[in-house]
Every structure is written in structure tokens, then in C-alpha cells.
Amino acid sequence: MKHVPIRELRPVNGAPLRVPLAGKHVHLQFRRFAGCPVCNLHLRTIVQRHDEIVANGVQEVVVFHSPADELREHTADLPFPAVADPDKHLYREFGVESGRRALLDPRVWTTIVRAVVRGLVARERLPSPTQPNGRLGLPGDFLIAPDGTVVAQKYGEHAYDQWSVDELLAIVKGLPAGVR
């Protein structure tokens, strides 16, 4: 299993955060770009069940490959840290990729339509028309134990292929007692 060395992340919406985190698992999510409608659709499910996630000993952290100033405009209301990684250092370290399949995979098409419609109805801030790192990022999910061990991971095959809250909680609850 991969081991994550201690580091300090600097969220755009809060205080610096040490990862791994003593006494808690960290769910490190890699999303696409600030304001991504598909990412926002997923993050709303995380926000809605955030208290339940925290009650199970998990600290959410979401990473975007957007500049901090742009990310700050889209994540101010999130109850968990959002980290800007415009140079994609963390993406490379964790092996999270980009690819045409992010948007071309037929399994994501209805989600794209649903996400765009939801964003328009909710009058969410639109993403920047240009994205320095493109729009073809794939999601990645990593559950990092307090000792830095990556106890579970998922590399998305398309833009909306990530752990649901139920999947995340099932993983956490299924960990051996010494790892929980």
C-alpha cells in the first residue's frame, strides 16, 4: 500500500491542514476545475451528508487543478478544505490523470446534462471559459489512514466516476478495528 508522507496543505477556504491527520482518516478527492458543473453536483452530495462523514472519523479534502483565486470564488461555502493545485503536483504524485474519456464516455453524458441544468437553475457561478489545465480531468479518491497509509483508492474512468458517500462510509466501516 502507498504511504503518504506528512505534508501541510493550504486550502483556499481555511487554515493550513496537516495530512495525514492524527486521529482521523482523510478522504482526499481530486476533482476537475473550479466551477465544474459535474464536480459541483457530486460535491453537493458530500455537503449534504458532511456531518455523517465527520461522525465516522473522516476529514474531507478536495483538490482542484485551478488557480487559488479562481477556486476561492467557487468553494467559499464548502464546509471542508478546498486545495488549489494549478501545477498538478498532487495529481502527479497520486497518479490522477486527464483524458478525453472524462467527457466522451457515454456513462457521463446524462450526468453532464443534469449538472448543467442544475447549475443554471441554482444560478451557480459559471466556470472560467478557459481552463489552464483543460477540462478533461478525471476524478480520484483516496482514503488516507492517520498513519499515512492509503487504505483505499479509486481512479475515475469518466468525469462522474467517484465514490458516493455510501461507498465512502462502507469502506470506512469495513476497515479493521486497528485501522479505523
* Verdict on whether the full-model pTM lies above 0.85: yes
105 Cβ neighbours under 8 A, 6+ residues apart: 157, 158, 159
Residue 173's alpha-carbon distances to 20, 36, 70, 143, 166, in angstroms, are 19, 30, 36, 12, 10
Q: What domains does the chain contain, in order, with CATH numbers?
A: 25-173 (3.40.30.10)
Residue 73's pLDDT is what? 87
Residue with cell 462522474: 160
Share of the chain above pLDDT 90, in %: 61
CA 23 to chain centroid: 21
Residue 80 pLDDT greater than 80, yes or no: yes
Give, in degrees to the nearest 5, the angle at Cα 105 between 103 and 108: 70
